[in-house]
Every structure is written in C-alpha cells, then in structure tokens.
Amino acid sequence: MMRNLIFSFCLLFVSFFCYSQESQDSSKGRLRVITQSSTAIIYVDQIKVRYGEIVTVDTGQHVITAWAPKRKKTRELVRLGNNYIKTFRIKMPFTEEYKKYRNDKLLYNVKKSALKYGPMAAYIYFALGEFTDISNSNDKADSFLKRANENKFNAETSFWPRDIESNRLDFEFNKLKYENEIDNINKSWQGVYIGLAATTVVNYFTWKLAKKMTQPKYTEKPQLSKLFIGPDRQFQTAQLTIGFNF
C-alpha cells in the first residue's frame, strides 16, 4: 500500500513538472533581428544580440534598439506571441550629420580637383582648338598656294592681254589669301606657347591653394557602447557575460 502511494506521488510530481515545463516553454517565442547595416549593435530589451541571430524570448512586447556608425539610433517595438517565430527588419537611415559630411566632402573634392587640374584642362581645350585651326589653315594655305602657282603659270603663258590680266589678278588674290592663312597659323602657334606659359604660372598657384584646403572630417560618438551584464547567447548557456560594447 505504501509502495503504491509513493509510486503515485512520483507520477504526480513528474506530471506536474512536465506540465510546468511545457507551460513555461509555451510562453516563449523566437525572434531574429535584421538591420539595414549588418555591423549594427543590437539590443532586445537589455540583452545584446548578433545580427540575424535567432534568440528565444518571453512572449509579449519587446523593445529593439539598434545603432551602427553613420546611422541613426533606432528604437522599435515588437510583440511576440506564444511559440511564434518572427523576423524583424529595421531600416537604419544615415544621420543628418553624415549626409552633410558626404555633401561637404563631395564639394571639397570638386573644388580641389578644379584648382589642381582646372587650368590645365582649360588649356588643353584651348590648345586643341588652336591645333584644329592650324590644321585647317594649313589645308587652306596649300590650296591658295596651288591656285596662285597656277595663276602665275597661266599669266606667263597666256597670249591675250585680257587673260594675262585676269590671271595676274587671281594670282594676287590667292597670294594674299595664302599669306593671311600663314599669318593665322603663326598667331595660333603663338597663342599655344603663350597659353602654355600662362597656364604653368596659374597652375602653380592654384596647386598651392588646393594643398591649403581643409578636408572635411566626420566624427561621431558611439552609441550603445556601455557596460552590459546579461546571459551569454553565443553558446546558449546560462552563464553571465560581463563586457563592453565599443
């Protein structure tokens, strides 16, 4: 009789323990947090978790806090039901300070490049135009020279005075055109040489100005970098971890 009573008591105790454990497990849920920046520091309530890590938490409402360099600190509320598995995604926009820094850095790079390479780029554009004019003037000069030689030959070999005078006038006209094109070629080459000298002097000073420019800097105070004491979830054990987040 006593043995049956003890056996019944043991069965009752085991049943109660299993029911209690099952009830306790049923009040849990599984949560995974994914942030826009995979390097974010993430807290679920007061517990630090890793990006994409699946953690078991109590059912109900939880506060998720996340921060990453250059990103806004974000706080979100999530509600978890019994035996519910939820993936929670958090958008983390850039801070206004970082966006301003990016704009300032872009403007700085544009100004510095303009000072360092702008004068030479302008000269190259100018020189290419001059070389094009020189090439065109050379072609025109060759054409006028050829016509002038033909006019001279015709004037020397013509029989009629009217033909001689006509070829002489054409010769003078083509000769003048030829000389004008040669003059244009000389002026273009002169512009190329003077432009190169002026650009060298100007670029010397603009290069020095570019070196004196102050580059924008971006600094920020780390968030969530505080002492934490909580369960170590890396090994899924019940031990406590004490450390610093940087």
Tell me the per-residue pLDDT of 138-182, one tens digit each, with 9 for 90 and over. 999 999 999 999 999 999 999 899 999 999 999 999 999 999 999
- Residue 246, strand partner residues: none
Q: Which amino acid is at 232?
A: D
Find out whether 92 and 40 touch, Cβ atoms under 8 Å.
Answer: yes
Distance between CA atoms of 69 and 101, rounded to whole angstroms? 13
- Ranges of each domain in the chain: 27-95+222-244, 97-212
- pLDDT score of 233 more than 60: no
Structure tokens at 67: 């921060």
List, in order, residues 6 or more apart from 89 with CB less than 8 Å away: 34, 35
Q: Is the pTM of this model over 0.85?
A: no
H/E stretch holding 89 reads: strand 85-90
DSSP character for 71?
B
For the domain 27-95+222-244, what is the CATH code? Answer: 2.60.40
Above pLDDT 90, what percent of the chain?
72
Distance between CA atoms of 9 and 155, rounded to whole angstroms? 141
Q: What integer pLDDT is reported at residue 85 of this predicted model?
A: 87
Going by pLDDT thresholds of 50, 70 and 90, the confidence category of residue 136 is very high
Residue whose entry in the numeric block shows the structure tokens 């953690």: 55
More confident residue, 179 or 245: 179
Q: What integer pLDDT is reported at residue 221 of this predicted model?
A: 86
List, in order, residues 6 or more apart from 87 with CB less than 8 Å away: 32, 33, 34
Find out whether 19 and 10 touch, Cβ atoms under 8 Å.
Answer: no
- Model confidence over 61-114: pLDDT tens digits? 999 999 999 999 999 999 988 888 899 999 999 999 999 999 999 999 999 999
Distance between CA atoms of 76 and 189, rounded to whole angstroms? 70
- Count CB-CB contacts under 10 A for residue 60: 12
Q: Which of 95, 41, 98, 35 is nearest to 68 (CA)?
A: 41
Side-chain half-sphere exposure of 39, counting CA atoms within 13 A:
7
- Model confidence over 21-37: pLDDT tens digits? 444 445 889 999 999 88
Above pLDDT 70, what percent of the chain?
80
List, in order, residues 6 or more apart from 148 with CB less than 8 Å away: 171, 174, 175, 178
Q: What integer pLDDT is reported at residue 224 of this predicted model?
A: 75
Q: Which of 135, 127, 97 is nearest to 200 (CA)?
A: 127
Q: Which of 57, 54, 37 is nearest to 46 (CA)?
A: 57
Q: What are phi and psi of 135, to 5 degrees?
A: -65, -45
How far is the first Cα of the chain from the last one, in angstroms, to the nearest whole number? 66
